[in-house]
Chains A and B, each alone.
Chain A
Amino acid sequence: EDQVTQSPEALRLQEGESSSLNCSYTVSGLRGLFWYRQDPGKGPEFLFTLYSAGEEKEKERLKATLTKKESFLHITAPKPEDSATYLCAVQASYGGSQGNLIFGKGTKLSVKP
């Protein structure tokens, strides 16, 4: 069964304290892995897509990496405005859920000034 597990469920950081969020997955052939950011009361905001192991993408203080079994979202010197829930999703290349986005439960990040 295709599934995504994110850890930790919640993470509290001080401003400037770098850390990483983990997304481990099992999927019937990975077509793509997606990271989204979701603020309270809003829809998910697209951040990155990764397609193959070894691929990396960066955007401001965020850097996403991908291996054959997991992805990491590294946050460098976070600021309070980075506080949000970060969602990871995978798409399978084949199988019953082919093409559908399968989401993890998310990591709720709080950055204190």
Chain B
Amino acid sequence: KAGVTQTPRYLIKTRGQQVTLSCSPISGHRSVSWYQQTPGQGLQFLFEYFSETQRNKGNFPGRFSGRQFSNSRSEMNVSTLELGDSALYLCASSLQDRRETQYFGPGTRLLVL
């Protein structure tokens, strides 16, 4: 069974731009969670989607948003990029609920210049 896939793998943007990242969960998984990983803060929860609805949100500004499609694929968007948004963005999928075991994708490394 194929794992979680994320595209693109690497991205370079400049301050003020916006970016969209994509995540395809494991087949049959309906819950998708997004995390930001930085050397200073480690892994931090951004939000979770299930059945095209955001079920939970971490402590991030409104510039961070997401959505989920009917096939469970998910996208996250960051608007008005700041230098501090440079990070590895990870997507994780689980069967029905983020409280179940979450399986991570390889991540998208975003560099904001």
Question: Which residues on A are within 8 Å of B, measured CB to CB?
Answer: 31-32, 34, 36, 41-46, 49, 87, 89, 91, 97, 99-106
Smallest CB separation, A109 vs chain B (Å): 16
Q: In the assembled complex, which residues on chain B have CB atoms less than 8 Å from the CB atom of A34?
A: 101-102
Query: Which residue of the partner chain A has the closest CB to B57?
Result: A100
On whether A101 and B42 interact (CB within 8 A), knowing A43-B90, A44-B104, the answer reads no
On whether A31 and B99 interact (CB within 8 A), knowing A42-B106, A44-B104, A101-B45, the answer reads yes
- 16 A–B pairs (Cβ distance < 8 Å), ordered by A: A34-B102, A41-B106, A43-B92, A43-B104, A43-B106, A43-B107, A45-B104, A46-B101, A46-B103, A46-B104, A97-B45, A99-B97, A99-B99, A100-B56, A102-B45, A104-B42
- Assess whether B106 is in contact with A106, with CB atoms less than 8 Å apart: no
- Assess whether A99 is in contact with B42, with CB atoms less than 8 Å apart: no
Q: In the assembled complex, which residues on chain A have CB atoms less than 8 Å from the CB atom of B4?
A: 43
Smallest CB separation, B23 vs chain A (Å): 11
- Assess whether A101 is in contact with B101, with CB atoms less than 8 Å apart: no
